[in-house]
Amino acid sequence: MLSANARIFLVVVAALIPLLLIAAWLWRRFYRDDHTDPARTVAKNSLLPIAANLINKVVDFGFAVVALRFLGPEGNGAYAFVALIAGLYFLTITNWGLNDLAVREAAPDLARAPRLFSITLLLRLGIATLLMPVAAILVIGYSLIERPLSSAEMLALALLMIHLYPAALAAACSASFQAYQRMEVTALVLLLTNVVKTLVGVGALIIAPDIPARVVALAAVALGTTTLNAAVFFVLQRRMLFRTSLVWDWPTGRELLREGFPLLLNSLLLAVFFRFDVVLLRAQAGAEALGLYDAAYKVINMTQIIPPYFVAALFPLLARYAVMDRAALERMYHRALSFLQLLAWPGAVGGTLLAPTIITIIGGQAFLPGAALALAILIWYLPLSYANGVTQYVLIALRRQQSITVAFATGALFNLGMNLALIPVYGYLAAATVTVATEAVLLLPFLRTLRREGVALPLLRLAWRPAVASCVMGASMWVTLPFSPVAAIVVGMPVYFAALWALGAFGPEERALMRRMMGRSVTSSS
């Protein structure tokens, strides 16, 4: 049975559907793009999708509260494992770096977008088909070890493998909207389908009689909502961007596969050093231990709200400046780094202090203290991760994606070796620590490549003010936390911004950029 809070949550989520439809109608009726102001374009393609994604993550947070209580640590670990295999590893292979390539090639010349959509879609579908026997081999392989997949895990994996097909269509359409700098459309579609997933998913969890059935039900819901997502994307693409029939071009397809292969390797290596610990934990400690660790990772996933949308909005401009104006590229890169550090440091300090409260809200007492300890360590990946994320896209814009592979290979080898050595002794606490350390290892090769390109990475200069301000914030939160976690947050946020202001983090250039991104006229003091 659902608690009163869970029922209230579902009513609020259901109410989002008509509200979002009204918001979309108002946006289309009254908003007009201003392509003469790049800052305003970035704001439209980042701030609005970020706001939508914040709502999305709140919905995910509420669904996690419900799902974790229905699944428990063991059921959560079982579903997390099959979702990792199909939804991370195999989906990454299906994407093959084609999103970034399609945006990079289509953004300067939108006339190429329909043909690129067709070719990349066919490539994705073909790769997904080739992965089907690989999944079967994986199941057979696990049947030969001490901890084979259960029947529920195998059925859930099969459903998630089928979902790769509609996911391919959705990803191809999403790349088209990104190339056209219409990221607000992507955000709205994802939010609407996520609302549907949450409502249907809770219903499926209620109906399912036991934990194995709930694991399968979640996979079936994922398949259904991904299909809905793809259908909506395709209809909107035909109405708002272009209509095209499927065409194939072997030379272009081969070139995209060749160009995308380094990006694929980068993504796979990134997946290895971020989530290979899941594979090791399940093999050595079982689904229950993995379920505790995954509960902490659900919070970590929520910290990836802003960077993907913000960097995706910047990427078309970065691609242009890489060709036309290297100085402008460096300025935009530094501004992006500064903004992301302002977000990362308070997130790390606040997340450490509030880890037990967050885990209690998400999963309940069954996930304490293990998940809270893991979260308190994992959260410190934020400052370096945010810097690494935008740096990767700068290197892609500079057409140095091959060099990123070296960095990811270094990070993956470090992560894999340290996890193999430490997880058998220290379990998921070792996995969390290694994840943070790997971000530092990854940054070092990035620095070398940027120097060769003549682009500076002044991370210490951009990070010290947010770091100091966050420590001041943390002290105020630590004092008020015994009274209430809410009080700690209410006190900590204004203290952080006051400390930033006192340290001079908001100079004339930052204030002018904020005003421009909000659509106000600005007169440069220079």
pLDDT digits (tens, 9 = 90+) for 352-371: 999 999 998 888 888 888 89
Mean pLDDT of 141-166: 88
Mean pLDDT of 97-125: 89
526 pLDDT tier (thresholds 50, 70, 90):
very low
Task: Name the one residue in this structure whose structure tokens are 């081969």.
Answer: 254
In a domain, 311, yes or no: no
| pLDDT of residue 36 exceeding 70 | no
pLDDT at 286: 74
Rg (CA), the chain: 23
pLDDT at 185: 83
Phi, psi of 109 (to 5 degrees): -145, 90
What domain range is 233 assigned to? 1-248
Mean pLDDT of 314-331: 79
pLDDT at 520: 41
Q: In angstroms, rounded to a whole number, what is the distance separating the alpha carbons of residues 238 and 221?
A: 26
In a domain, 44, yes or no: yes
- In this structure, of 80-89, 273-282, 411-420, the range with the lowest mean pLDDT score is 273-282
DSSP-assigned states of every residue in 239-282: HHT--------HHHHHHHHHHHHHHHHHHHHHHHHHHHHHHHHH
* Selection from 126, 133, 130 nearest residue 98 by Cα: 126
Model confidence pLDDT, tens digit, residues 498-510: 998 888 877 666 5
In a domain, 64, yes or no: yes
| pLDDT of residue 523 exceeding 90 | no
Share of the chain above pLDDT 90, in %: 31
In a domain, 262, yes or no: no
CA 141 to mean position of chain CA atoms: 30
Average pLDDT of the residues of the chain: 84
In a domain, 99, yes or no: yes
In a domain, 75, yes or no: yes
Top-confidence residue, 397 or 137: 137
Q: How far is CA 356 from CA 206, 374, 473, 481, 491, in A?
A: 27, 10, 18, 12, 19
Report angle CA 421, 426, 430 to the nearest 5 degrees. 70
pLDDT at 517: 46
What is the domain count for the chain? Answer: 1
DSSP-assigned states of every residue in 329-365: HHHHHHHHHHHHHHHHHHHHHHHHHHHHHHHHHHH-G
| pLDDT of residue 129 exceeding 90 | yes
Residue 273 · residue 438 · CB < 8 Å: yes
Alpha helices in 89-146 (DSSP H): 91-95, 98-106, 113-143
Instruction: Name 361's Cβ contacts closer than 8 Å, sequence gap at least 6.
Output: 65
In a domain, 62, yes or no: yes
Mean pLDDT of 188-213: 90
In a domain, 186, yes or no: yes
